[in-house]
Structure 1
Amino acid sequence: MELAPNLHRIGNDIVAAYLVVAPEGITVIDAGLPGSWHDLVAELASMGRSLEDVRGVVLTHGDSDHVGFAERLRRERGVPVYVHAADAARAKGGDKPKAGKQSMRLGPLLGFVGYSMRKGGLRTNWLTEVVEVHGGETLDLPGAPRIISTPGHSPGSIAVFVAAVDAVFVGDGLTTRHVLTGRTGPAPAPFTDEPEQAVRSLRALVDTNARWVLPGHGAPWSGGVAAAVQAVERAA
């Protein structure tokens, strides 16, 4: 799905990943679920591109519904996968803290679980090798993605700012559709390790002045990053 010139989404409002397109190649941001591979191949074909054009994958954090097809791209195509050093073990299948009590409604919960199962969420392909980032870097990848540390959802959560497409990719730093309740609009994401820290971390995004705020779960937000952050703070 083309959101804007050179900016594409694969997946849907339940689980999403993104493509930044440039003449020299494509940067993938997050990798959804294992079955999202087929969505990636189809979206590339719709643009007249192929897996050969993918230059790198940047993971906003190491949870299973963001790792998705990343290891397959790395293993089969030699594509480097970038993840924050503090989430490197998590992206390789290491233990994560148990989530506390979560608000939920049965319908949205079943929708999330059912979609995850259909997309191979029961057989996570964890990373075996990663390229570690630490925050503040601008990567030598199409679109020149800049890494912004946003700890809270996980210790190594990051946002990725790409000025070329006026977008900041936030992973689970916030959500615009709560996968457990179905509530829409910018809000804190569920399954967050340190909820208060996660909300504070979003202030680091405001200076990007990005139009697009693109979460791993929920509809793309085109109302500007400042408005999105303010909405999350109110919801928190």
Structure 2
Amino acid sequence: MFRTDVAEGVHLIQHANVNCWLIEDDEGLTLVDAGLPGTWRHLQDAVHTLGYQLDDITALVLTHAHFDHVGMARRLIRQTGLPVYAHSRDHELAAHPFRYAHESPIVRYPLRYPKALTVLGPMLLAGVPFIRGINEVKSLAVGEELAVPGRPTVIATPGHTYGHVALHLPDRDAVISGDALVTLDPYTALTGPRVVAGAATADASRALNSLEAIGATKARHVLPGHGDPWNRGAARAATVARRNGMA
């Protein structure tokens, strides 16, 4: 699915229960997160629908470097040479995107939440076994306004991974929350604002604390890594996510 202007000049590519975001301005496009290998044709279609070519994507910014957020990264680097940005604490993960810290055993979740298989199955079919890491990653700094289209401001939101960041777009009244706050948990299939289950979260306490930083943006639009956009305010989303807790 491709949805334009989810927030002003921010477009959603949603494929296999994973979200990527295109931020558009006069300088071109920034891609936030790189989905799965099978998302490639959806990315091409989205870029062409907006009237651009792949070379008009001038940067890839990663909220974090789990496998389902770097799936197209290697191919994009090879074909366009674009720079990739991530927090320094996620650089090692970008190189080895399946070697991630998590608090709970992954195997227990499909047994307890069998509906999660309807979420995880399409992800697997979208090319998970073919994902390879990347080494060509530049560092971004918390508090920095990135010199890429859209000029997002980097917010520290560690917990899901140790280097997880959110991207605030104050002029678009939006925050891209990555997996620090989602509206679909892939490991439980539960919906509504929440943090991702311990199967894929490194530090639950820090993840819950990071909700405060997302809420503090007071953005109207919360644009998550999984699930549909939330348009009832970041503060409310953070409150609901905190109440829902972690599975």
TM-score range, shorter chain: over 0.9
Aligned to 1:96: 100
CA gap 1:72/1:13 in 2 versus in 1, 3 angstroms: closer
Give the drift of 1:97.
2.3
Paired residues of 2:211 and 2:238 also in contact (CA < 8 A) = yes
State the partner residue of 1:156. Answer: 163
CA distances 1:77-134 after superposition (whole Å, capped 9, x unpaired) = 111000000000001116322541454422332x233212221111113112100123
1:44 maps to: 47
2:166 aligned partner, one-letter code: A
8 Å CA contact retained: 1:61, 1:84: yes
The match for 2:115 among 104, 107, 111 is: 107
Q: Aligned residue for 1:216?
A: 225
Scaled by the length of structure 2, the TM-score of the pair is 0.90
Aligned to 1:206: 215
Instruction: Tell me which amino acid in the other structure corresponds to 1:27.
Output: T
* Contact 2:177–2:214 (Cα < 8 Å) also in 1: no
Partner of 2:57: 54
In the alignment, residue 182 of structure 1 is paired with which amino acid? A
Query: CA RMSD of the aligned region, Å?
Result: 1.6
* Percent of aligned positions that are identical: 37
Larger mean CA deviation between 120-129 and 78-87 belongs to: 120-129
Are the equivalent residues in 1 in contact too, given 2:176–2:222 (CA < 8 A)? yes
Unaligned runs of at least 5 residues, structure 2 = none
Alpha carbons 1:13, 1:218 under 8 Å: kept: no
Structure 1, residues 177-232: CA drift from partner, whole Å, max 9, x if none? 12122221101112111011111012122332211111111111111100000011
The one of 136, 139, 155 aligned to 1:132: 139
Note the alpha carbon deviations across 1:28-69, whole angstroms, 9 max, x for none: 111111111111100011111111210111101110000111
The one-letter code matched in structure 1 to 2:96 is G
Assess, with a 3 A threshold, how the Cα gap between structure 1 residues 198 and 51 changes in structure 2: closer, same or farther.
same
Pairing of 1:1-236 with structure 2 (within 5 A):
1-2=3-4, 3-12=6-15, 14-93=17-96, 95-101=99-105, 103=109, 104-109=112-117, 111-190=118-197, 191-236=200-245
Distance change in 2, residues 1:139/1:176 (3 Å)? same
Quote the Cα distance in structure 2 between the aligned partners of 1:184 and 1:206: 18
Distance in 1, matches of 2:154 and 2:23, equals 15
The CA distance in 2 between the partners of 1:187 and 1:53, in whole Å, is 34
Q: Which amino acid aligns with 1:212?
A: H
* Distance in structure 1 (CA, Å) of the matches to 2:166 and 2:153: 8
Q: Give TM-score, length-normalised by structure 1.
A: 0.94
- C-alpha deviation, 1:75, in angstroms: 2.1
Give how far 1:12 is off. 4.2
Contiguous gaps of at least 5 residues in structure 1: none
